[in-house]
Structure 1
Amino acid sequence: MGKNKIARFAENKLLPNVIQPTREEALNNFELKGKWREKIFKNDHPIVLELGCGKGEYTVGMAKAFPDKNFIGVDIKGARFWFGAKDAINNNLGNVAFLRTQIELIDCFFAENEVDEIWITFPDPQIKYRRGKHRLTHPDFLNRYKNILKSSAIVHLKTDSEFLHGYTLGLLQGLGYEILTAHHDIYGAPEYEPDTLYLREIKTYYEELFSSKGKTITYIKFKLK
């Protein structure tokens, strides 16, 4: 492991907006479950998760754009989201936190109806058939999300993978979930809902990378309840 990674892991332990529970803590009535607003954010604003947040650009970007919401970036790679955690602190953003965990455990950390919105940004599409259960829109993951989402909650998928986009659309239709919006090219689509203009204004590291290579960026907005 490089020296920079070691330093970031060490600093994460000191950052007030980084939560790094053990697996045992997750599986044994995690102390913040149902209490994120009370103990972390000190307000009653909506909670928005970004799953697989990487460096945290989207989490921090949305927190700047929507100060009346609380944002939590979730990823297992703490050395990556260190960048977002530091950015949030440097910009005095009290509505940002980062949770280091595997997304398979997401419903161990949040209570029923605690989460208002979920963003899934540029996840690994897991194209190989035997890796299908690891797709973040696989039915097993969708059921975990349902356990923590409010009935009115929105889920967003933003990806450069036409495979994952198509897989998710077909899955949602087959399961009878409500698809609110589906775009095959968010930068080429002339029609846009006013409240989703920020889809093009906030970009992750990977989005910048994929866009520079001419890849099409797709988007789905849907409900699970």
Structure 2
Amino acid sequence: MGRNKLARFKANEENRNVVQEGKEIFERIKGNWRKEQFKNERSIVVELACGRGEFTVGLAREYPDQNFIGVDIKGSRIWKGSTIAIEEGLENVAFLRTQIEQLERFFEEKEISELWITFPDPRPRDGDEKKRLTSPRFLEMYKPLIQEDGWIHFKTDNTGLFAYTLALLQEREDIKDLAFTHDFYASTFRDDHHGIKTRYEAMFSAKGEKIKYLKFRFR
């Protein structure tokens, strides 16, 4: 393991805005994000597969009256967003280092007001369907965690994953207010996100890839 990665892991251990195994707060955070981490009663927005945290931090800049949590298993990536948030004095940002499959361990029912799924691994093989973050397995996990009428957003460059997700949502009876576009930056949705791009999104866009986007709520 390289020195840079070791240094980042050490920083994550010290940074208050990183919740990870080995910290006392890790085992008691479920249902207590507002009280224990943010020290306020504001709404909680969660980004899954947050990577380096560009989107989580970007939203936190735009909406100081809300709390934002980025979730990812890669500590060296989380370090980046964590460090930027600390340098900018953003107290409404936190990062949870865990497998997304474990999300129920860390959030109480209705604790999340809004959920973002941004550029996840498309898992294109049929045998990997259950690992897709928009598969029925994951949708059933998100459903009790998000507040009534809370939005779930999904962005990807992957045409196959987007088609799979859209078809799945259109077939479900518990989905409402589904809206989507196959070309995000040519759509009316683009201004809602304040031009915030992740490193991967910028890379895909530069290659001419159309960014796909949808949002929905559970009935």
TM interval, short-chain normalised: over 0.9
| 2:58 corresponding residue in structure 1 | 61
| 1:215 corresponding residue in structure 2 | 209
Q: Please tell me the residue identity of whatever aligns with 2:215.
A: K
Equivalent in 121, 131, 136 of residue 133 of structure 2:
136
Q: Please tell me the residue identity of whatever aligns with 2:207.
A: K
Q: Could you say what secondary structure the match of 1:72 adopts? A: strand
| 2:164 corresponding residue in structure 1 | 167
Distance 2:217 2:50 in 1: 21
Distance 1:167 1:2 in 2: 38
* C-alpha distance after superposition, 1:45-88 (max 9, x if no partner): 11000000000000000000111110000000010110100000
Distance 2:205 2:193 in 1: 13
Q: Could you say what secondary structure the match of 2:113 adopts? A: strand
The answer to whether residue 78 in structure 2 is matched with residue 81 in structure 1 is yes
1:3-42 to 2 correspondence within 5 Å?
3-21=3-21, 30-42=27-39
Distance 2:194 2:185 in 1: 7
Q: TM-score, normalised by structure 1?
A: 0.92
* C-alpha distance after superposition, 1:134-158 (max 9, x if no partner): 1000111111111211111100001
| 2:198 corresponding residue in structure 1 | 204
Q: Contact 1:41–1:95 at 8 Å: present in 2 too?
A: yes
Query: Which consecutive unaligned segments of at least 5 residues does structure 1 have?
Result: none
Q: Contact 1:172–1:179 at 8 Å: present in 2 too?
A: no
Q: CA deviation at 1:95?
A: 0.2
Distance 1:164 1:44 in 2: 35
Q: Please tell me the residue identity of whatever aligns with 1:56.
A: G
* C-alpha distance after superposition, 1:77-105 (max 9, x if no partner): 01011010000000000000000000001
Q: Please tell me the residue identity of whatever aligns with 1:35.
A: N
| 2:186 corresponding residue in structure 1 | 188
Q: Could you say what secondary structure the match of 2:147 adopts? A: strand
Equivalent in 145, 148, 158 of residue 145 of structure 2:
148
Q: CA deviation at 1:197?
A: 1.3
> How many pairs align?
216
Q: Please tell me the residue identity of whatever aligns with 1:75.
A: D
Q: Contact 1:122–1:158 at 8 Å: present in 2 too?
A: yes
Q: Percent of counterpart pairs with the same letter?
A: 49
Q: Could you say what secondary structure the match of 1:221 adopts? A: strand
Q: Could you say what secondary structure the match of 2:103 adopts? A: helix
Q: CA deviation at 1:165?
A: 1.0
Distance 2:13 2:177 in 1: 40
Q: Could you say what secondary structure the match of 1:147 adopts? A: helix
Query: Which consecutive unaligned segments of at least 5 residues does structure 2 have?
Result: none
Moved over 4 A (4+): none
Q: CA deviation at 1:180?
A: 3.1
Distance 1:115 1:148 in 2: 6
